[in-house]
Amino acid sequence: MFKKTFIIFAALAATTVLNAQQALWDGAQVESPVLNEDGTVTFRYFAPKAVKVTVSGDFLPTQKIQTPFGEFDGPGVAELKEGEKGVWEYTTDFRPAPEMYTYTFNVDGLNVIDNNNMWVNRDVSSLTSAFIVPGGRADLYTIQDVPHGTVSKVWYDSAVAGFDRRLSVYTPAGYDPCGKTRYPVLYVLHGIGGDEDAWLEQGRAAQILDNLIAQGKAKPMIAVLTNGNISQEAAPGQNSTGYTRPTMQLPKTMEGSFETSFPEIVKFIDSHYKTIAKKQGRAICGLSMGGFHTLYISINNPDMFNYSGMFSAAIGVSEQQMTPLYDNFDGKLATYFSKKPALLWIGCGKTDFLYKANTDFMEKMDANGQPYEYMETDGGHIWRNWRIYLSEFVPLLFK
């Protein structure tokens, strides 16, 4: 009996090894996406029983979509054609400009990622496949042959939250915790539903910093990528709730708690890193909800940050009556400018649903003679714009 059992076990083990070897050596039979020599891009998907397959992504011309906020630009859609052996294919009839793009397939009504492309982005609970067309600004988003900084996942005690919380901290190439050199600090904030990983994974923040610093276009700096969801310890899957589904419906996102807690983060960073611990050595920026947080952190702490950047800021989108932090906005804004910050920088897309809120805010500052810099881009509330804004904002810092 023992001999028979052993033979069965050995046979199963051998089958497992053979299957593993086949998976290891055979590799994927479909290549997608393919950046062709003429600059076009080919997408393929294996679906032998499918009736219709489409690809949707920000590399395609936009289409109008209806949202609760009105009609705005959305990702374009193109149809794949079925070829041999059930492989569907689409090749662009244009050359996508250098950029980092995301896309998904739709197979008979079901949205799926490209299972032949291992590069996947998570935006809240949505998964998209990703690729980069090299050249121009897009080269800032790729790993280049330059000195690289280090990204650490760091926990700090938050008295406001009542538990430990996690930060992502970038230190530039050559940073020595025992050395004499001190560095300025940039605090980078995400949008609603994001976390301390969002700017690293989708925003390519570490690559942007590495490349700009190596090119001499930016000062070597520490960057702190925060989690703006004060009810969370850390990113989904990295906290005590386990593998719960990420959601934008989190408590305490835009009611003042995170802004109130922010000096804790600054104090922690100054006490644990070689920082220039004064206003002239600090900058803060954020996208959407993070732009909203940036605004209120800056005007409630006018002696803390010398540079502030608001990317597609969610101005006016909050439960402002819940906290005095949002009271006396005009007075706090006037005090902020009376302290003569080096830079307030604003970026927004022409078709962003927050475009009017941002232009209204700038009209208010214009009427009061309050200085700022503004960059307007094509497109809407998308990571492509936010990467551009970060790469434009960073070289302006710590001059």
Taking the alpha carbons at both ends of the chain, their separation in whole angstroms is: 80
Residue 20 falls inside a structural domain: no
Report if residue 17 sits inside a domain.
Answer: no
Of the candidates 85, 105, 133, which is a domain's last residue?
A: 133
The CATH code of the domain that includes 311 is: 3.40.50.1820
Do residues 50 and 150 both lie within one domain? Answer: no
Total number of domains in the chain: 2
pLDDT of residue 119 exceeding 50: yes
Question: Which of the pair, 14 or 95, is modelled with greater confidence?
Answer: 95
Does residue 357 share a domain with residue 311? yes
How do residues 132-180 score in pLDDT, each as one tens digit?
999 999 999 999 999 999 999 999 999 988 899 999 999 999 999 999 9
Same domain membership, residue 79 and residue 222: no
Query: Within this chain, do residues 121 and 234 fall inside the same structural domain, yes or no?
Result: no
The reply to whether 149 and 99 lie within a common domain is no
Question: At 119, which CATH number?
Answer: 2.60.40.10
Lookup result for tokens 């086949």: 22
- Across 122-127, average pLDDT: 80
- Judged on CB neighbours under 10 Å (0-12, 13-18, 19+), 75 is buried
One domain for residues 372 and 277: yes
Predicted local confidence at residue 248, as pLDDT? 61
Residue 286 sits in which domain range?
Answer: 141-396
Q: Are residues 271 and 380 in the same domain?
A: yes
Q: What is the chain's mean pLDDT, rounded?
A: 88
Write out the two tokens for 376.
């307007």
pLDDT classification of 244: cutoffs 50, 70, 90: confident
- Check whether residue 190 and residue 174 sit in a common domain: yes
- Is the same domain home to 115 and 146? no
Does the residue 28 lie in any domain?
no
Label each residue of the chain as H, E or C: CHHHHHHHHHHHHHHHHHHHHHHHHHCCCCCCCEECCCCCEEEEEECCCCCCEEEEECCCCCEEEEECCEEEEECEEEECEECHHHEEEEECCCCCCCEEEEEEEEECCEEECCCCCCCEEEECCEEEEEEEECCHHHHHHCCCCCCCCEEEEEEEEECCCCEEEEEEEEECCCCCCCCCCCECEEEEECCCCCCCCHHHHCCCHHHHHHHHHHCCCCCCCEEEECCCCCCCCCCCCCCCCCCCCCCCCCCCCCCCHHHHHHHHHHHHHHHHCCECCCHHHEEEEEECHHHHHHHHHHHHCCCCCCEEEEECCCCCCCCHHHCHHHCCHHHHHHHHHHCCCCEEEEEEECCCCCHHHHHHHHHHHHHCCCCCEEEEECCCCCHHHHHHHHHHHHHHCCC
Structure tokens that stand for 112 in this block: 């799926």
Shared domain check, 128 and 174:
no
* Last residue within a domain, chosen from 117, 133, 149: 133
CA 25 to chain centre: 34
pLDDT in tens, 171-226: 999 999 999 999 999 999 999 888 899 999 999 999 999 999 999 999 999 999 99
258 and 297 assigned to the same domain: yes
How many beta carbons lie within 10 A of that of residue 217, not counting itself?
12
Residue 24 lies in a domain: no
Looking at the domain assignment, is residue 14 inside a domain?
A: no
In a domain, 328, yes or no: yes
**For residues 152 and 170, what is the distance between their CA atoms, to the nearest angstrom?**
7
Residue 109 placed within a domain = yes
CB 293 within 8 A of CB 255: no
96 plus 150 within the same structural domain: no
* Final residue in a domain of this structure, among 133, 166, 194: 133
Q: Is residue 73 part of a domain?
A: yes
